[in-house]
């Protein structure tokens, strides 16, 4: 009798486990254990996510869970079915190599993502698939070493050295034909107009002849606004804008007037107290200013 009772309990347990397995839906890939924890491989559709303007059956995410925590490789999709991003998760946090894609399917950016920041080389691409910029970051996520930006035609646009997240030394800018546009001198992020030069289009780098005074520009990197701009006034690409008090306001890659990747400087009065970090048009964290 005891043996029969044990067999009965074993079968009942198996049935209960199978029922918890099936309750998630008809696709038994999405498994929830008896403690209601997600386990194994999951495919998440818009029936669960409920994103606007997206079919209910559209696949939104797929990847593995361990005790309801994301682990390993996860893929996210646009509503059109194309890949949005690929992230590596450790204990429910993105940690590892990451790739993001434009909605047309071309790679948008890639690099090592650790502790909510890029580490090492970080590459960003135009929608055409051509390289937009290559940034190098130190272990704290700040830009360090040689940084490069490229024109849509593939030619170098900006090249120079950064230290602890700030421009350092001579930053060279180039026209789309490859000729030198400017040599801008920086010290710990501060622009030195007196030691900087701008050149007329098509002027050869070897001549080093200084352009007329009206050609000189006291800029920072690519596009700079010393006065506040409305959304429609900010061009696509790398920009650095300033508040009406002349303080840095936003810095990074803009698209359609929106900061896609970069920083927003936060002030108390005129004192810089925090820096908000943005990626993919979304705020991903804040850094306190060291005093």
Per-residue pLDDT averaged across 94-115, rounded?
Answer: 95
Specify which residues 186 forms β-bridges with: 169, 191
pLDDT at 246: 65
Residue with more model confidence, 105 or 273: 105
Residue with more model confidence, 279 or 199: 199
Tens-digit pLDDT profile for residues 171-212: 999 999 999 999 999 998 888 989 999 998 875 444 444 444
pLDDT at 222: 46
pLDDT band (50, 70, 90) for residue 65: very high
Per-residue pLDDT averaged across 256-265, rounded?
Answer: 86
pLDDT at 286: 84
pLDDT at 54: 94
Highest mean pLDDT among 143-152, 251-260, 281-290: 143-152
* pTM to 2 decimal places: 0.64
Secondary structure of the chain as H, E, C letters: CHHHHHHHHHHHHHHHHHHHHHCCCCCCCCEECCCCCEEEEEEEEHHHHCCCCCCCCCEEEEEEEECCEEEEEEEEECCCCCEEEEEEEECCEECEEEEEECCCCCEEEEEEEECCEEEEEEEEECCCCCEEEEEEECCCCCECEEEEEECCCCCEEEEEEEECCEEEEEEEEECCCCCEEEEEEEECCEEEEEEEEECCCCCCHHHCCCCCHHHCCCCCCCEEECCCCCHHHCCCEEEEEECCCCCEEEEEEEECCEEEEEEEEEEECCEEEEEEEEECCEEEEEEECCC
Tens-digit pLDDT profile for residues 205-232: 444 444 443 333 333 344 554 444 544 5
pLDDT beyond 50 at 97: yes
């Amino acid at each position: 009798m005891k043996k029969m009772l044990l067999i009965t309990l074993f079968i009942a347990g198996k049935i209960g486990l199978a029922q918890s397995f099936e309750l998630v839906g008809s696709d038994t890939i999405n498994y929830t254990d008896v403690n209601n924890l997600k386990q194994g491989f999951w495919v998440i559709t818009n029936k669960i996510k409920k994103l606007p303007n997206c079919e209910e059956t559209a696949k939104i995410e797929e990847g593995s869970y361990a005790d309801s925590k994301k682990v390993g490789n996860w893929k996210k999709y646009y509503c059109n079915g194309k890949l949005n991003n690929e992230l590596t998760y450790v204990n429910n946090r993105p940690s590892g190599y990451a790739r993001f894609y434009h909605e047309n399917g071309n790679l948008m950016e890639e690099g090592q993502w650790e502790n909510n920041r890029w580490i090492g080389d970080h590459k960003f691409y135009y929608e055409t698939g051509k390289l937009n910029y290559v940034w190098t970051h130190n272990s704290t996520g700040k830009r360090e070493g040689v940084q490069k930006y490229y024109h849509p035609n593939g030619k170098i646009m900006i090249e120079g050295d950064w230290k602890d997240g700030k421009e350092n030394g001579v930053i060279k800018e180039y026209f789309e034909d490859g000729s030198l546009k400017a040599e801008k001198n920086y010290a710990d992020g501060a622009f030195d107009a007196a030691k900087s030069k701008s050149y007329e289009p098509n002027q050869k780098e070897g001549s080093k002849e200084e352009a007329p005074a009206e050609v000189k520009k006291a800029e920072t990197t690519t596009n700079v606004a010393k006065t506040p701009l409305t959304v429609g006034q900010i061009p696509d690409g790398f920009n650095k804008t300033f508040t009406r008090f002349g303080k840095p306001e936003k810095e990074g890659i803009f698209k359609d007037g929106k900061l896609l990747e970069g920083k927003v400087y936060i002030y108390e009065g005129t004192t810089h107290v925090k820096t908000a970090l943005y990626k993919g048009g979304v705020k991903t964290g804040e850094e306190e200013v060291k005093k």
